[in-house]
Structures are given as C-alpha cells and as structure tokens.
Amino acid sequence: MIRINRDKVLAIHQLSAYVSSIRKHIGDETEDQDGEPYSLDRLAAGLAMGDNNGDVVFLDPADDCSVWLWYHDGADVERLADSFEQWLEMATVSES
C-alpha cells in the first residue's frame, strides 16, 4: 500500500489516486505525446508497474495492455510500446 495525498491504495492502482487529485485542476482529460486526448478515466484504470522520480510506467487495459509513461509534472502520457512483450524486447540490461 502507498499513500498519495489522502488516498491509501495498492501500488498497482496508484494512478487512480493521482487522477482523483488532479482532475479538479485539469478537467477530464490529458494528452498523449502526439497531442491527442487521453481520458483521465482511462488513466485511472492504468496498472502501475513502477515509477521513476514520480513518473509512472503503466499498462493500459483499454489498449491491449500497451505500455505507457505518465509524467507527473505535466500530467501527460507517452506510449512506450504496443505490448508488455515489445517493451521487454526494447529493454536494455545495465551492467553493474
């Protein structure tokens, strides 16, 4: 469980908590990397896989579980891959 503002949610559902806190400020949608609308309801249903400095990597169930990134500073999203498998293929292994 994680706490986002006053909401305590499972980490996988963290986008729903973020959406509940930003909706009153930005309306019912944000946009993707092409400037196309992306609904906040769709974002709230996203399944978080991880984050980096507040930006959340998530699966979008409304789009065959494609992989997206939600930028917390602009509240916009970017499609990273058409599927989880494609995203894994694109991943690089870092040597420690």
pLDDT digits 0-9 by tens, 61-92: 999 999 999 999 999 999 999 999 999 999 87
φ, ψ (nearest 5 deg) of residue 62: -75, -10
Query: pLDDT tens for residues 7-52?
Result: 899 999 999 999 999 999 999 999 999 999 999 999 999 999 999 8
d(CA 40, CA 10) in angstroms, rounded, equals: 19
d(CA 72, CA 54) in angstroms, rounded, equals: 6
Handedness of CA 38, 52, 63, 2 (dihedral sign): negative
At 61, list the tokens. 């169930």
pTM: 0.90
Which one, of 77, 76, 57, lies nearest residue 67 by Cα? 57
